Structure 1
Amino acid sequence: MAHHNPLRGRTAVVTGAARGLGAGLARELAGRGMRIALIGREAETLERVSRELPVESRCYEADVTDDDLMERTARRVARDLGEPSVVIANAGVAEGGPFATSDPGTWRRVIEVNLVGSAITARTFLPGLLASRGYFLQVASTAAFGSAPMMSAYCASKAGAESFAQSLRAECAHRGVGVGIAYLHWTDTDMVRDVDAHDVLRELRAHMPRPARTVYPVEKVASWLAEAVRRRSATVYAPPWLRLVQPVRPLLPLLVARSSARTLPRLAERGALSATGLLGPGGLAAREGRTDGGGRGDAGSSDRR
């Protein structure tokens, strides 16, 4: 029983799977014997990830904010790989800069992808999860409880995603579907590397306590989350020490405000307070609201074994 693997032979859906943590999760779950449905905006990059996997996998080019396209994608996944036992709402984007001068369309796009896209992912795949009595994992962030300046859209979206997952958990528990929330800190993805390319965001991160500045490898974070999937955990912290922050959560806004009151005026004097736009290559891919062609849901679909 110590070697029992409840994931082997089952199907996992991962959004935002073209790069970063999504690709890492696909590799980690494939290593545990799961069939993988990779969903993302970048067909060629999805294909490269798929070719690395030692299991059957399929790629689906889709925008998680498109209800109709995601509904069609869910039907294709069920047809190609079977009803999912695991769905991970990982797709996410970020932008930085002062809220007052932020671009309304970019700000809204972060909310749409990170919050609305997660809800659409859950809605479209929930029938399959109900059939398999499966597990839904919402990838959130420490931004859900430690809101930072210059990241208002990202923090709002992750706090909303956390609350959404908590509500979904309460609705689905009696129907056999588990819902987990992953609280991530700094993970070595393209998006986080782009954070450090912008002076104001890099300096704000530099003023965090030393443990809170550590960037963790994608492979390590993916392994923490995959183990949470195996256990059907209600919460997973990456890194695990973040669990210790939860009891002092009510104090964090005050501490952040005090630190920002010292740091932001100095940065403003240097003229560093400007919008970043969507961060990282994944942010560039998510800039437009729909997949090119207005409805392709299975672009370059592949079958890997």
Structure 2
Amino acid sequence: MSGSSVDGQVVVVTGAARGVGALLARTLAARGARLVLVGLEPDELQNVTESLGGDAAFWTADVTDRATMARVAEEVVARFGRIDVVVANAGVATGGPFLDSDPDAFDRVIHVNLLGSIATARAFLPALVASRGYLLQIASLAAITPAPMMAAYCASKSGVEAFAHSLRAEVGYQGVAVGVGYLSWTDTDMVRGADEDEVLREMRAKLPWPANRTYPLEPAVERIAAGIVRRSPHVYGQWWLRGMQPVRGFLPSVIGGVLGRREMRRAQPALARGARAKRGLVGSGGAADEAARSSDHHTP
């Protein structure tokens, strides 16, 4: 597989109905890639697919469903003949104090972000071994540093980072490259949904620069696309995230110590006002995930 271009390569992107996944699909298609989109929202996926032109295609699937993902991988290979790149991007989020969290929403974040990424790798890795391809796991700043009110998301993204690093060590000798993509707060439905929560919004605003701002989507996705072309082991959606790696060992003490305690103490009045509010999955993607599971549950 060429390390300098994605022209003509078959690229699978999960969580491709919106946000990072949708724009990444468009960016890679513009570079000549043949796109396969996977997600839960058929109408949105169709819209993105039609915007790509060429022989792009989409499959509706829940990434946590191992059997379905295995079938999708087989059908993609049958249609396109090969798979060169897989981007495990599907993800959801919830926020709020752990003890007040909705257990189902909390667990769903772990299931989609971590177990869904594992199911994606399990389904598509044989094809990547055959093509000596590239797997990019989208992680987050949340994998580098912990954050109060985001226990589920931080745990899931730390998990996928560790999973990808372990997988890289296993499959490198077979010619498969594995990368981890890191994004800070980026202008997506998920982040806008999180900002609808007063406490999360105010706590994020008090983070030290440059972690306290929302970054535009397009430059972040361009950086991810460039990392895919290079088959990079680490891809940073914002330039400053690279500099977080050398100091990440100190961050749990800082966040869990004075800073975290101070901000949680300040947040108590607002948390008390919203104590009875349901804290489900955030953003349009979270709503789509809940709707899809509700529909499956009620299907006779």
Name the TM-score, length of structure 1 as normaliser: 0.92
Distance 2:112 2:289 in 1: 8
Q: Conserved in 1, the CA contact under 8 Å of 2:193 and 2:284?
A: no
Q: Which moved more, 1:135-144 or 1:97-106?
A: 97-106
- The number of aligned residues is 292
Distance 1:228 1:5 in 2: 10
Distance 1:292 1:133 in 2: 38
Large movers: runs of 4+ above 6 Å: none
Distance 1:43 1:248 in 2: 42
Distance 2:293 2:204 in 1: 32
Are 1:224 and 2:227 an aligned pair? Answer: no
Are 1:276 and 2:279 an aligned pair? Answer: yes
Are 1:285 and 2:288 an aligned pair? Answer: yes
The residue identity in structure 1 corresponding to 2:268 is A
Q: Which moved more, 1:213-222 or 1:69-78?
A: 213-222
Cross-structure match for 2:261: 261
Distance 1:24 1:178 in 2: 23
Distance 2:294 2:58 in 1: 14
- Per-residue CA deviation, residues 76-127 of structure 1 (Å, 9 max, x unaligned), is 1112222210000000000001111212111110000000000000010011
Change (3 A) 1:272 1:134: farther
Cross-structure match for 1:301: none
SS at match of 1:277: coil
Change (3 A) 1:173 1:97: same
- Per-residue CA deviation, residues 138-189 of structure 1 (Å, 9 max, x unaligned), is 0000101211001100000000000000010000000000000001101110
SS at match of 2:179: strand
Change (3 A) 1:12 1:190: same
Distance 1:40 1:201 in 2: 27
Distance 2:76 2:295 in 1: 20
Shift of 1:253: 1.2
Shift of 1:54: 3.4
Distance 2:273 2:260 in 1: 14
Distance 1:178 1:157 in 2: 22
Change (3 A) 1:293 1:79: farther
Change (3 A) 1:277 1:208: same
**Counterparts in 2 of 1:1-305, with a 5 A limit?**
5-257=4-256, 258-270=258-270, 271=272, 274=275, 276-287=279-290, 292=295
Give the fraction of aligned pairs with identical amino acids, expressed as a percent.
50
The residue identity in structure 2 corresponding to 1:86 is V
RMSD: 1.8
Distance 1:132 1:43 in 2: 28
Q: Conserved in 1, the CA contact under 8 Å of 2:178 and 2:233?
A: yes
Consecutive unaligned residues of structure 1, counting only runs of 5 or more, are: 295-305
- Per-residue CA deviation, residues 11-37 of structure 1 (Å, 9 max, x unaligned), is 000000000000011001101100000
Name the TM-score, length of structure 2 as normaliser: 0.93
